[in-house]
Every structure is written in C-alpha cells, then in structure tokens.
Amino acid sequence: MERSIIVTGASRGIGRSIALKAAEKGYQVCVNYKGAADKAEAVVREIEAAGGTAIAVQADMAIEADILRMFETVDTKLAPLAALVNNAGIVDKAAPVADMSLARLNRMFSTNITGPFLCAREAVKRLSTARGGPGGGIVNISSVAARLGSPNEYVDYAASKAAIDAMTIGLSKEVANVGIRVNAVRPGVIYTEIHASGGEPDRVERVKSMVPMQRGGEVEEIADAALWLLSEEASYVTGALLDVSGGR
C-alpha cells in the first residue's frame, strides 16, 4: 500500500537524511523547506534518481497558512499520509537569557513549538482511525538540550525542545487508542549546519570532549532512529524520548 511522509526542514542536515532514508523505506516524501528551494529540489532529484517519489513544498513553520497549504498539497499530490517527522527548528547565537530580545523568543517559540504543534494537529486529523484515517506515526526531533538546559548559550532553544518533549508524551497518550504512535528523538551534538546559523560552525569540535563517546554524531544516526520509531519494529513504542547522544 502506497503511503507518504512529511519531513519538515528536509532540505539539509538531519531532515535531508530522514527524507532520503524514508524514500528507501518506500515512503513518498514531502520535502519541506522554508527558503532553500534549490537544496530541497536537489533532495527530490536524489530520491527520484533512486526510483522514489518526492515533492518539495515550501512552508514556514511559523505561519499557519503555510502549514495548512503543505498538508493540502500532500493530500492532492502524494499517497495517503502515514507519517510526520517534525524536524524543522532554529537556533540563535549563543547568549545569556538576560540578553534575549522578545523578537528572538517569539521567533524561537513560534518555529520550534507552535509549528510542530500545528503539524501534529493536521497529521492527527488525517491519521486518526476515529476520523477515518489509517493510523500512523509522528516523530518529533527534540534535543538533549531539553534536559541539559544549555546555560549561557541557548536556554530558549532548550526550553523549546522541552516543550516538544512534553507535547510528545501528552499527545502520545491522547492518540494511542486511535492508531497513532508519537515519539521523539533527542539528538546530542551532531555535525549539521545548524551550528553555523548559531554563529559557531565548529561547535561540535569544541564540545565533543564532553560526550562519553568522545565524538559528534552523524545525521544518518539520527535518521536511523527516527525511521526505526516509525517502523513496525517499534509497534509497541509510543511516548518515548530516545536519546541519540553518545551517552551525554
């Protein structure tokens, strides 16, 4: 049976790897992006070259109308929705809380919290067996920052991911009896471009000595965890917060 998956923030990094691996598993893939159309289209081409089906859909996770349009596009252009990966997220430059502006906090929370909530809402509407859906899975990409707090760097980012953890636990219990499993992956320090957007492209090299395994993680390691949580091998797993952090 054909099925589709939405991966938010899939033009690069962890999202890109999840999109590629989802296509390998047989999903038709919605490659969501905010602004990097060229990179998103490159992911689509890579999936198509391997014999898969994918579309790139622009949507800003801070704008409800964009999110609604993205889901409606998938409804009309791809197979029935079976899975959502809430991966899109932002980080800002390292700063203490005392120096954080309201604009920064609003931008952080609207993208990292409200966006995933809205995406989860739309996914549940389509997946819930009580609403005529087939059931399915939601995976939220959180962060070990949710329990570490990221003092003097990204307390706002850590707080946004703690909210995602709470949403994962609460929503999983809310929809467990309507065929939907909801879990989260909490990456540690991973080699991705998000560190550059936070003003420190070499952050993994600086902090990897604090990781028991003494290395940063690779995006494929996060993608494998996300796809496992969506698979039948994890059929009795819901409400889980899976740390993929090298022991940190």
Using an 8 Å Cβ cutoff, are 28 and 47 in contact? no
- 110: which DSSP letter? I
Cα–Cα distance for residue pair 47/56, rounded to 1 Å: 11
User: Helix 37-49 to helix 13-24 angle, to the nearest 10 degrees?
Assistant: 20
What residues act catalytically?
157
DSSP-derived 3-state class of residue 234: helix
Tokens read off for 241: 């917060």
| 246 Cα distance to chain centroid | 19
Using an 8 Å Cβ cutoff, are 30 and 206 in contact? no
Q: Residues in the chain, how many?
A: 248
152 burial via Cβ count (<10 Å: 0-12, 13-18, 19+): exposed
Please enumerate in sequence order all residues whose Cβ is within 8 A of that of 184, keeping only pairs 6 or more positions apart, or say none: 139, 140, 141, 142, 164, 165, 168, 240, 241, 242
Secondary-structure percent of the chain, ordered helix, strand, coil, rounded to 5? 50, 15, 35
Cα–Cα distance for residue pair 245/220, rounded to 1 Å: 13
- List the one residue out of 152, 145, 159, 150 whose CA is nearest residue 98: 152
